[in-house]
Chain A
Amino acid sequence: MNSQRTYHGDTNPYNILSGSDVRKIQEAVFQLMEEIGIKFDAETRAMKLLSQAGCKITADGTVHFPTNLVENSLRTAIKSVKLWDRSEEDYIEFNNQNTIMVAGNTCTDIIDYRTGKARSGSIDDLATTVKLADGLANIDAVGGPIKLVDESNVAGQIKEFVTSAVNTNKPLMYVSDDVQPLSAAIEIGSIIRGGTKQLKERPYFGYLISPQPLSFSKNHIDQIYLCVENGIPIVSASMGVGGASTPITIAGNVVHCLATDFAIIVMSELIQTGSFCACSSVPAFMNPADGLLGGFPETILAEQARCQVLRDMGLPLGGSAAGIGGGRNYLDGHNISLAALFMMGACYSQPGLCFGLGSINLMNSFSLHALVYCNELVGWVRRMWDGIQVNEDTLALDVTRAVEPGAGYMAEMHTALHCRTEIWKPDCLFTFGMDDSAGDGGPDQMIQHLDERLHEVLNSHQPQPLPASVARQISEIQHKYGAEF
């Protein structure tokens, strides 16, 4: 991993909004939270907490947040957290200066990497995808790439967590739809760390909470409590669908997403001061022609605006959906181009995490080839973030003096010293030196290169094994929840 590396280097994010527009959005978020309010399940313990903190609550469960409460909560929430790998050898920092690259996010289908056909994912598929993610250098964390649809939700989601924990040493980004799998994950994380206190001190996984925009069910409120009480970093991951669940205008959609994120921060701070929540709600858009997800340039624009507003407030940024194609079943041209465009969007917005790497079909299908492709794109983007060093050495006047005008630089010491640091080395694509002799260099040829790299990693990489005693204790937890393999 890259604990010492500042991913964004000296490059600045692209600021799409003027300073006054940033202010207008921030004010609109506070105004929405105070005047219009946010809906909470009225039958929860959150209501008492919010009421005691000064929120006005109407009979239907709409909570009106005083602006000073929101501002205080944003101030006291911690802004950076270290997410440690399973063996506690290294960590990644979750804040607004790094981007954590996350493989996958609960795809129901897998594209079989041998046949190219889509089918339901199995435990073995999940193990293979996690192992691949473990072996790819640019992937920082694993987000449950495959959803086990043939299992009951509780058992399946616990198995998903355990399979991920077994097959990668990297930290996890976990998502479940219920508190039970989250409870099990906390127990398992505590075993891996050697205790609940240790898990709090060195979190092993982050947890995605996905309420509807401006609306919190009991289930989501319970998940917030459980995470905060156990020191699990929260990633608030609501999804506004502009034109459907949120306003169709980009600014309006961003306001709804931020208000939802801020409500989680307020809740978290009321439960325990100094908690961590990365604002990660995604302002997506409905395609007005068919009602499906669309508006991809607008999604990227909204992400840029969202990240700029949060950065201005010093708040930890959450994620962009990156590396996500729109094609139905295969890593085709549509998927390849969308993944690249989303990744370039992330390159400019510099979010706190990019999730969904390797997902295609709008996060419903997982492709191992797509993950290898995304790993390559991340390398490219990180090179962009490394930026340009401008100093006496890089301006290169000394070597220019030494080389006769018109002569070459290939054999110069200056070139030799900089050839590895200045020029990014692709993993398997994006060079003119690729052997395309067997084909015409079209999409199939690209898949072939990805395929070779994929097999190379799967054949040579072995994830660090879990200590036997830890594995045994995890089996006991699985048994307790009826989630044995």
Chain B
Amino acid sequence: MANRVRATSSRSGLFLIELIAAIGLFALASAVCVQLFAQAHLISEESRNLSQAMLRAQSAAECFKAAAGDLEHAFALLGEGDLTDEGALVVRYDGDWRPLARSTLEEREGERDHPAFFQLTLLPSQAAGVRQAHIKVERLFARHAEDGTCLDSILYELWVKAASL
């Protein structure tokens, strides 16, 4: 009887040790796997943002070309964004790349959780008989709104020219 009790106790102890070792191993390996998943998520976000930035820049470039370099016409063709006092066309997007209306931006100006995440800027200029524009798509860190809008990390940029024949 005593032997049986000892054997059962020994088996339970062995199982407990195995369980502890298994939990430890699982914790270690899952920490590595979670890091891999997190890295994959960040890379995926990066490529999604690059693709979206590229599409928006191309769309703006084609509007500029179709308008033969006329900014107001390009703005009408693009159908989103605002013309600034500096003579640029600016479109702001939220985290899901939806264009934000000016009214939304004005309402929430200065808030910590500002909805704008990305910004497209089309800045036209004149060079040697052709109209050209620098198109830039940037990430906009709106959390720094208290210190003024902080622009950083250019996602994509290109130059485009339109001839007015």
Partners in one complex: no
Chain B residues within CB distance 8 Å of chain A: none
